[in-house]
Chain A
Amino acid sequence: MAAGPFNATMILAILPQIGLLALGVLVSILDLLWKENQKRNLGWLTASGLALIMVLAGVFTAPAAQPVLVFGGMLRHDWLSFVFQMIFLFGAALTALFAMDSEPLSRKGEAYMLLVAATLGMTLMASAADLIMLFLAIEMTSIPLYILAGFIVGDNKSTESGFKYLLFGATTSAVMLYGFSLLYGFAGTTQIYQLAGILQQGQFSTFTLIAVLMLVLVGFSFKVSAVPFHFWAPDVYEGSPTPIAGFLSTASKAAGFAVLMRFLLVVFPMTEHYWIPLLAVISTATMIVGNTLALAQKNVKRLLAYSSIAQAGYMLIGVASVSPLGITASVFYLTAYLVTNLAAFGVVTIVGRSTGSDELSAYAGLSRRAPGLAMVFLVALLSLGGIPPFGGFVGKILVFAAAINSNLIWLAVLGILNSIIALYYYLMVLKVVYLYRSEDENRPLAIPRSWAIAMGLCVVGILLLGTVFGPWYQWSVTAASSLF
């Protein structure tokens, strides 16, 4: 790989990363300088900083039609990475807003700094084009998230959550790294875009390649919480601070999908016939396990955790379709899922703060205590269930269409059946919210301005993605085209 001279394109390509680094440094300096009662403003600073980075990146970083490898082949500057970077930045900005008034996070500068650091790792994950860069990016994302999951000091559940996440993450990383090392051993290069060619020329048995693929898949499946690497999700979401759980279930999952798509399509196109059924089976298992276990949940955070496992299954359908439409569908689905799930976790944050409980019974009479909030929850849950005119509906249509186009009709049918099961438990929650009465009905819930802004953004996002989906769809198409 020609390293090429250093030039301005390279700097522009990593503009979001530079911005994130500067923001992280700024937050940690201000954390030292500001007094305790000012520190809540770090949330505003982080959110507006992330928004500013989005604008700057949108103006200066938008990739050319022809993808380029920068920094000696370490990063690939293409539309897929760009669209995903925007998704992460948006998710992180909303999470910063939600963190501002969430008790364990609001006055801790470290929380915002770690959030920015994790986002930096994700942006690198989306554009990594080298095994070493990829591994470093995954670790850079995971380690701050381990700490954030266990952020509530002195709370056993949070500590358990952080520790469990760490153990699962470290083990799956190790297995994935073993797969990477075998790939390097076979091909003699760590550059992802050179690997495919060398693997195709060399006389490697399909069996060996599939074995390596499965080792690598372990790490990615953990990130997207696909069955059978989903066990951590409910416990980690339940114990960690709610805004962080929302971030884990959306941005972190999206990062996993970005890596999964690029890796499967670029490194292993020659063994497609073997891993498509594998991926289809994983997707089916993920949907069924997530949805059926969600049916029995009494804790809303755990219910959303199982629902997010099931959602990963739908997105995997798009990846398993291995067509431009399939990847487009997955990217679109991820975008819709991001705004939807962040809104749902936002509602859980607010209710959790006011009632001190995440149990389903705490949601009784919510529609009378806070009609607006109940409405946001309604929009979010119906969008998760795939009801028009919300974003989730368009996402589901695209995913199922992609499966049918690629002759995976059985997968589409299973997906549709699963959506019906999912709708049952989403409506169960809404039943409690709208129909059940409680004694606290006359006490309205307080909703700080930061949360109102974040929820407003989410709802607008859900509605836009469900109605005026043209531009977002076009972006997803462009993103998908950079893989084929």
Chain B
Amino acid sequence: MLLEYLPILILMILALVLSILVIVLGTIFGPHRPTPRKGLPYESGMTPFGPGTRRVSVRYYLVAVLFILFDVEVVFFLPWAVVFRKLGVFGLIEMLVFIGILLVGYVYAWKKGALEWE
């Protein structure tokens, strides 16, 4: 029973050994010539600007939450659309109920001013 998971264990051990090996070999054999430019933290290839721990406006959080909410809604549409013919009228009503509830949430967020940036 537990033996069936042996390949996963081997894979994990291999991954661990390999990553340690690569780093160790690199530090032993590789040239080590640091320059100030090389020592900079990596930020998508650009020169970093500003401190790394600056504050992020809390408003992004609200936008992110709304995004996830309506994004997931769209994800549900996809499998529904694929089997739409099989589900028939029942599927249509079910989806209308689903959208209806989310629509109330949307109007709620809108009216409460969640979509206004200022």
**Given A6-B90, A203-B1, A25 contacting B111 (CB threshold 8 A):** no
In the complex, B108 has a CB within 8 A of chain A: yes
A29–B90 touching, CB < 8 Å: no
Is A189 positioned at the interface, with any CB of B under 8 Å from its CB? no
B11 within 8 A of A: no
Q: Which residue on B lies nearest to A203, using beta carbons?
A: B1
* A6-B90, A21-B101 known; A32+B108 contact, CB < 8 A: yes
Q: A6-B90, A203-B1 are in contact. Are A32 and B107 (CB under 8 A)?
A: yes
Q: CB-nearest residue of chain A relative to B104?
A: A25
B residues in contact with A29, CB < 8 Å: 104, 108
- B111 cross-chain contacts in A, Cβ below 8 A: 32
Residue of A nearest to B110 (CB): A32
B108 pairs with A28, CB closer than 8 A: yes
**Which residues of B, 73-118, contact A by the 8 Å Cβ criterion?**
90, 101, 104-105, 107-108, 111-112
Distance of A317 Cα from B58 Cα, bound (Å): 47
Closest Cβ neighbor of A202 among chain B residues: B1
Q: Give a binary string over A442-464; 1 marks a CB under 8 Å from any B CB, 0 the rest.
A: 00000000000000000000000
Q: How far is the CB of A312 from chain B (nearest CB, A)?
A: 33
Question: Residues of A contacting B105 with CB < 8 Å?
Answer: 28
Query: Could you tell me if A28 and B104 are in contact, using CB atoms closer than 8 angstroms?
Result: yes
Bound complex: CA of A204 vs CA of B1, how far in Å? 9
Q: With both chains docked as a complex, state the minimum distance between the C-beta of B99 and any C-beta of chain A, in angstroms.
A: 13
B78 to chain A minimum Cβ distance, whole angstroms, is: 20
In the bound complex, do residue A25 and residue B101 qualify as a contact, i.e. CB atoms below 8 Å apart?
yes
A6–B108 CA distance with the chains assembled, in angstroms? 32
Q: Quick one: CB contact mask for A187-230 with B, threshold 8 Å, 1 for yes?
A: 00000000000000001100000000000000000000000000
B-contacting residues, A268-297, CB 8 Å = none
B-chain residues with CB within 8 Å of residue A204 when the two chains form the complex = 1
> Complex formed: what's the CA distance from A400 to B111 in Å?
55
A29 CA / B106 CA spacing, docked (Å)? 11
Chain A residue nearest to B108 in the complex (CB): A28
Closest to B5 in A: A185
**Min distance, Cβ B114 to any Cβ of chain A, angstroms:** 12
Closest CB of chain A to B115's CB: distance in Å?
14
CA distance A28 to B111 in the complex (A): 11
* Chain A residue nearest to B2 in the complex (CB): A208
CA distance A6 to B107 in the complex (A): 32
0 or 1 for each of B1-45: is its CB under 8 Å from A? (1 = yes): 100000000000000000000000000000000000000000000
Q: How far apart are the CA atoms of A269 and B105 in the complex, in Å?
A: 43
Residue of A nearest to B97 (CB): A21
Residues of B within 8 A of A203 (CB): 1
A21 to B101, CA, bound (A): 9
Q: How far is the CB of B4 from chain A (nearest CB, A)?
A: 10
What is the CB-to-nearest-CB distance from A14 to chain B, in angstroms, rounded to a whole number? 13
Q: How far is the CB of A49 from chain B (nearest CB, A)?
A: 16
CB contact list, B38-62 vs A, under 8 A: none
Complex contacts, A31 vs chain B, CB 8 Å: 108
Within 8 A of B (CB), among A10-30: 21, 25, 28-29
Which among A6, A32, A203 has the highest number of chain B CB atoms within 10 Å?
Answer: A32
In the assembled complex, how far is the CB of residue A10 from the closest CB belonging to chain B, in whole angstroms? 12
Closest residue of A by beta carbon distance from B101: A25
Name the CB-closest residue of B to A21: B101
In the complex, residue of chain B having the shortest beta-carbon distance to the beta carbon of A113: B108
What are the residues of chain A within 8 A of B90 when measuring CB–CB?
6
Residue on B with the closest CB to A6? B90
B5–chain A nearest beta-carbon distance, Å = 9
Alpha-carbon separation in the docked complex, A29 to B108 (Å): 7
B47 to A: closest C-beta gap in Å: 37
- Shortest distance between the CB of A341 and any CB in chain B (Å): 32
- CA A21 to CA B97, docked complex, whole Å: 11
Contacts of B1 in A (CB 8 A): 203-204
Q: How far is the CA of A6 from the CA of B90 in the complex (A)?
A: 10
Complex Cα distance, B1 from A203, in Å, reads 9
CB distance from B103 to the nearest CB of A (A): 10
Contacts of A21 in B (CB 8 A): 101
Residues in chain B near residue A6, CB distance under 8 A: 90
Separation of A6 and B1 alpha carbons in the complex (Å): 39
CA distance in complex: A120, B111 (Å): 25
Tell me, in angstroms, the Cα distance from A25 to B97 when the chains sit together: 12
Could you tell me which A residues sit within 8 Å of B by CB distance?
Answer: 6, 21, 25, 28-29, 31-32, 203-204
16 pairs, CB–CB < 8 Å, chain A vs chain B = A6-B90, A21-B101, A25-B101, A25-B104, A28-B104, A28-B105, A28-B108, A29-B104, A29-B108, A31-B108, A32-B107, A32-B108, A32-B111, A32-B112, A203-B1, A204-B1
User: Can you list the 7 inter-chain pairs with the closest CB atoms, starting with the nearest?
Assistant: A32-B111, A25-B104, A28-B108, A28-B104, A29-B104, A32-B108, A25-B101
* Sample of 13 more A-B contacts, CB < 8 Å, known A21-B101, A29-B104, A31-B108: A6-B90, A25-B101, A25-B104, A28-B104, A28-B105, A28-B108, A29-B108, A32-B107, A32-B108, A32-B111, A32-B112, A203-B1, A204-B1
